Amino acid sequence: MVKNPPALEQLIESLRCLPGVGPKSALRMAYHLLQRDRKGASGLALSLDHALQVLGHCTLCNNFSETSICPLCESEKRDISQLCVVEMPTDLMMMEQTQSYTGMYFVLMGRLSPLDGIGPKEINLDKLIKRAQDGMVNEVILATNYTVEGEATAHYISELLKTRGIAVSRIARGLPMGGEIEYVDSGTLSMALLGRKQL
Amino acid sequence: MVKNPPALEQLIESLRCLPGVGPKSALRMAYHLLQRDRKGASGLALSLDHALQVLGHCTLCNNFSETSICPLCESEKRDISQLCVVEMPTDLMMMEQTQSYTGMYFVLMGRLSPLDGIGPKEINLDKLIKRAQDGMVNEVILATNYTVEGEATAHYISELLKTRGIAVSRIARGLPMGGEIEYVDSGTLSMALLGRKQL
């Protein structure tokens, strides 16, 4: 039985730590890097090392940051009475793109997902509770996804915060912009009905 | 506009050198590595460095190897009069698994694909020609894939070798084991007809 050289086997094995990469993809990646993009490979090794060294979490919002407090949390233009809880840094960026929120953020870096071994500790809920009780925060806005896991996470957090007397809200659910009733799914429509507003 | 920390941006950019990884996958990989698998990430950086340092190509068969001549080429049990040309190291392994070939190999590390910028030089044809003319090789067996590119590569190599008076053969094409005429595609069937053998 012919085997790959040990260094190649080790590289293939290491590549499998990437999410969504199985044995076949890892093999293809290893061949590509070694045969066609050695420069990219050494760049990747450097970037990994650098990122692991300098990237930590902001002590306030828990987002990735190279400094102990990130630029957004340090900004004096933000409204410190509102705290918006999101799952991932990309969600934070989407919120910022709306340009309709000026408060602070807390990034969970995940969602409750017991089957994947992600419980309250993994999404830093202790840190969130502490942050929400700093005396400045008046309202916590839950902006986790409207998926099963995002909903469960929002419910869990709201229970935790309400018992501590903190005002909690959840972003609205309903028809999207440009949404047509004929084509929307019935779950969304029934939620839009339940969440109707007096005009 | 909120931005990711520079080290994170750089990591995302570096991950895009992997084949099949676009901006969204790169982002997901970066988050996963930094948040859930820092050990895997540093292991990957080490493996990349190590592989780039020690892995070269066997001077005889062009396969990846940590030594200048790979264990297979060094083996004294192989028949040095036959040289089998394959596209990738995985093809070599498949050939070995059949346990019906005992000759030597040459690994192209690719196939002719002008649109992807892969010409005769990128698949080391100079090295192959030199190898086939070492005075020991009696027959070159072309075992590239039966895809358009693999076929073109086989045709190109056979022309090169035949003008130099080297015997060249191509692995057979026909119905696969267990193949039923009713369900096989017509291209394969017509090739099986053309390639029929006197009994």
Question: What is the tens place of the pLDDT at every residue in B22-44?
Answer: 999 999 999 999 988 999 999 99
Q: Model pTM?
A: 0.78
Q: Is A69 on the interface with B (CB under 8 A)?
A: no
B137-160, pLDDT tens digit by residue? 999 999 999 899 999 999 999 999
Question: CB contact, 8 Å: A43 with chain B?
Answer: yes
> Is A1's pLDDT higher than 70?
no
Q: Do A60-170 and A1-36 fall under one CATH topology?
A: no
Separation in Å, CA A161 to CA A72, A123, A148, A164: 24, 15, 20, 5
CATH number of B60-170: 3.40.1360.10
* Both structure tokens of A15: 């590549």
- B30 contact residues in A (CB cutoff 8 A): 51
CB atoms within 10 A of CB B155: 14
Nearest to B55 among A7, A53, A89 (CB): A7
Closest-approach residue (CA) in chain A for B7: A51
Parse chain A into domains and list their residue ranges. Answer: 1-36, 60-170
Q: Is A102 part of the contact surface with chain B (CB cutoff 8 Å)?
A: no
Whether A176 shows a pLDDT value over 90: the answer reads: no
Backbone angles phi, psi at B3, to 5 degrees: -120, 155
User: What are the residues whose beta carbons fall under 8 Å from the beta carbon of A179, sequence distance 6 or more?
Assistant: A188
Judged by a CB distance cut-off of 8 A, whether residue B9 touches chain A is: no
pLDDT 10s digits, A119-161: 998 899 999 999 999 889 999 999 999 899 999 999 999 999 9
CATH superfamily of domain region B1-36: RecR Domain 1 (1.10.8.420)
CB atoms within 10 A of CB A82: 18
